[in-house]
Structure 1
Amino acid sequence: MSFEIDYARIRREEARLIILKALAEQTNESLSSSMLEKVLATYAIHEVRPWVHQQLEYLQTMDAIRVTLAGSVQIATLKDLGHRHLERHIAIEGVKRPSRSED
């Protein structure tokens, strides 16, 4: 029986939650992948744009965001399922669950 921790998986799940939260904070609920690189870096997740694009692709596959291409940059926009995950109404597989809000 192995108790190894899959840090790469944990990092991806954490990054996906950070992306959803960052989108929710925006007035238009959208950010470019280049801006998301900077957001992730503030949480010590220093990854290249293709890695960020992979996370956006995953979130789009799970119907949490919509991705629009703008040259070499992708624009991510939060969708209803992404909101519902942040509100803890549903759980999206592969995305860290948000903490309970302090009431």
Structure 2
Amino acid sequence: RPRCFEDVLPEVSEKRVIDLREEFQEYAKFFDSLKDTVQRSPVDEETLLGALRRCDFQNPMEEIINLINIGVLRRYQRKLSDPIRYHFPDIYLRGLGLQRSGMR
């Protein structure tokens, strides 16, 4: 990855998450709790559903679909036999306080 991109990514990620919190206020509590509940991306479906339930969402599966539609999540499955996991794009990782699996 280009060095200049990596240098500005933390700042851009923070700003993008601030924009998300303002635009989608109904998810602000969820965004704030991710660093304590999810911590890494990709995340398995059960962990993500649990994090949404803790934030008082009545239909967490519907909320996953909404988060996919607004671009905060992407479904991640290498093979059909693999469990479904969800990936947070790099543009949001730092701002949400998350890390990519396999990274330090």
* Interval containing the TM-score (normalised by the shorter chain): 0.3 to 0.5
Normalised by the size of structure 2, how large is the TM-score? 0.44
Bigger share in helix:
2
User: Which structure's relative contact order is higher, taking Cα pairs within 8 Å and 6+ residues apart?
Assistant: 2
